[in-house]
Amino acid sequence: MEKFVVRGGNKLFGEIEIQSAKNSVLPLIAASIIYEGKTYIEDCPKIYDVLVMMKIIEKLGGKAYFDKNTLVLDTEGVNDWNLPEDMTKEIRASLFTVGALLSRFGYASISAPGGCNIGSRPIDIHIDCLKDLGVNVYEGESFSFSKKTNNGGITKLRYKSVGATENAIMASVKSNGVTVIENVAKEPEIVDLQNYLNAIGGKISGAGSDRIVIEGVKKFNGKEVRFKPVKDRIEVGTFILAGAVCGGELRFKGESFENSSALIKIIEHNACKIYSKNGKIECVKFDGQTHGYGFVSVDPYPSFPTDLQPQLVAAASFSDGLTVVVDNVFKRRFGYTEQLKKTGADIAVYDNACVINGGKKLSSAEMIAGDLRGGAALIIQALGICGESTISGVRHIDRGYDGIEEKLHLLGADIHRIYY
């Protein structure tokens, strides 16, 4: 077993090397199945969810391995469309292979996908839009998909689901017609997916807007593609919120200011001064949170992201005032607050709203991570409190952060991983 031991109270100073976005890399690994060739994903984080997706590629007949920080995927040998249950139950991203397998083979079979314990994770939006695009879906113990027609089509998502958007795009890349997908998610990671698929020979436009148009193609380019994904805006936000609590000064090499603008908007006038150049965050100086964050609504991109909601709630418990966070994306994503309350944080949850009364005296505690971003919130909490805290359940944190404790240690945090 492993846990983090944190002695909080240190300021954070230094430059952080941000990983490629987990939520870009995972759909890209799925998308590589469409293409019978080699894909090189640069600066790929060695996180648990990537390792599971690599195993899925190999189980389906492909090859996946790291060459230093580049993930190499060779999908020429992929010859199966039945996903292994033990792997699909582990991570939500396994669901994203359905669209890719439908484009490659016209078939896919998957058990109910797993994922972080952040509330129910239905797949009805995925199923509804694939049905609109000519896919037969058999729903039972597992889900089987088969393309009855392959002539494109029109679909409108009832909700801007990130995964359903990605699955619909991947299912439509190889077809005999044009596909239009309305009310799509607009995350930067979806723009990455569009750019990768166009690099292999797809004809996709509109990612980042409300409508995506895919002109189906029958074959793809060459035999290998190199791709550098967007940086992880959630990792950037996690470190910025840690800085808001600890104080100090952090530098982010060439990070995209635009992708973090929803966080920057609420934090800049409260906890820090942001120095940017040509739209890139150069440096963030933290001079202490002066007040609560007021009302923060969590909604699909470009609004404040649900994947930073737990980290914001932790930071708010150190601010001197009131913060109300309403999560309209995952309405039950507040389980981690029970752990924060062990430190004396004044937090109350009402349905999908969380009220934080900051400024209370907080003390170190033994906390247990139950999901990825909730775990990141516990780290921020422990960093801000003098005294020794521990965080177990580290495997949840390792799903999405590549060596977060080492990066924090390099910035001056007293945090260590111990085995027991």
In this complex, which beta carbon is closest to ligand EPZ, that of residue 289 or of residue 309?
309
**Rounded-to-integer distance, Cα 223 and Cα 202, Å:** 14
How many chain residues touch ligand EPZ (CB under 6 A)?
A: 26
| One-letter amino acid of 285 | K
> Which of 373, 398, 408, 415 is close enough to bind ligand EPZ by CB under 6 A?
373
Q: Is 238 helix (H, G, I), strand (E, B) or coil?
A: helix
In this complex, which beta carbon is closest to ligand EPZ, that of residue 126 or of residue 174?
126
DSSP state, residue 112: P
Q: Is 161 in the site for ligand EPZ (CB under 6 A)?
A: yes
Q: Is 314 in the site for ligand EPZ (CB under 6 A)?
A: no
Q: Is 173 helix (H, G, I), strand (E, B) or coil?
A: coil
Q: Is 147 in the site for ligand EPZ (CB under 6 A)?
A: no
> Which of 162, 262, 263, 408 is close enough to bind ligand EPZ by CB under 6 A?
162
Phi, psi of 273, rounded to the nearest 5 degrees: -115, 130
Least CB distance to ligand EPZ at residue 89 (A): 15
**Rounded-to-integer distance, Cα 112 and Cα 400, Å:** 21
Least CB distance to ligand EPZ at residue 414 (A): 26
DSSP state, residue 269: T
* Interaction pattern, residues 212-241, with ligand EPZ; x per rule: CB under 6 A: ------------------------------
* Interaction pattern, residues 398-417, with ligand EPZ; x per rule: CB under 6 A: --x-----------------
Partners of residue 346 on adjacent β-strands: 357
**Rounded-to-integer distance, Cα 172 and Cα 207, Å:** 14
The DSSP annotation for 125-144 comes to: HHHHHHHHTTEEEEESSEEE
Q: Is 125 in the site for ligand EPZ (CB under 6 A)?
A: yes
302 upstream amide cis, omega within 30 of 0: yes
Q: Which residue is nearest to ligand EPZ (CB)?
A: 163
Q: Which residue among the candidates 116, 246, 272, 354 is catalytic per the annotation?
A: 116
DSSP state, residue 20: B
Q: Is 370 helix (H, G, I), strand (E, B) or coil?
A: coil
Q: Is 294 in the site for ligand EPZ (CB under 6 A)?
A: no
Which token pair is 168?
């619909």
Place of tokens 């249950």: 85
Say whether 129 is catalytic. Answer: no
The DSSP annotation for 32-101 comes to: GGGSSSEEEETT----HHHHHHHHHHHHTT-EEEEETTEEEEE-TT----B--HHHHTT-GGGGGHHHHH
> Which of 26, 181, 242, 379 is close enough to bind ligand EPZ by CB under 6 A?
26
> Which of 159, 275, 295, 350 is close enough to bind ligand EPZ by CB under 6 A?
159
Contact between 72 and 103 under an 8 Å Cβ cutoff? The reply is: no
In this complex, which beta carbon is closest to ligand EPZ, that of residue 110 or of residue 116?
116
Strand order in the sheet with 153-156: 153-156, 178-182, 211-215, 203-205
Residues 95-124 that bind ligand EPZ (CB under 6 A): 116, 120-124
Q: Is 329 in the site for ligand EPZ (CB under 6 A)?
A: yes
* Interaction pattern, residues 264-293, with ligand EPZ; x per rule: CB under 6 A: ------------------------------
Residues 176-205 that bind ligand EPZ (CB under 6 A): 185
Window of 51-59, 156-164, 218-226, 270-278 that interacts with ligand EPZ by CB under 6 A: 156-164
Q: Is 307 in the site for ligand EPZ (CB under 6 A)?
A: yes
User: In sequence order, what are the residues at sequence separation of 6 or more whose Cβ sits closer than 8 angstroms to the Cβ of residue 338?
Assistant: none
> Which of 11, 92, 228, 342 is close enough to bind ligand EPZ by CB under 6 A?
92
Window of 19-27, 102-110, 169-177, 344-352 that interacts with ligand EPZ by CB under 6 A: 19-27
Q: Is 297 in the site for ligand EPZ (CB under 6 A)?
A: no
Among candidate residues 35, 33, 30, the one with its CA nearest the CA of residue 222 = 35
Least CB distance to ligand EPZ at residue 359 (A): 28
Q: What is the binding site for ligand EPZ (CB under 6 A)? A: 22-23, 26, 92-93, 116, 120-126, 159, 161-164, 185, 306-307, 329-330, 372-373, 400
Give catalytic residues, as residue numbers.
Answer: 116
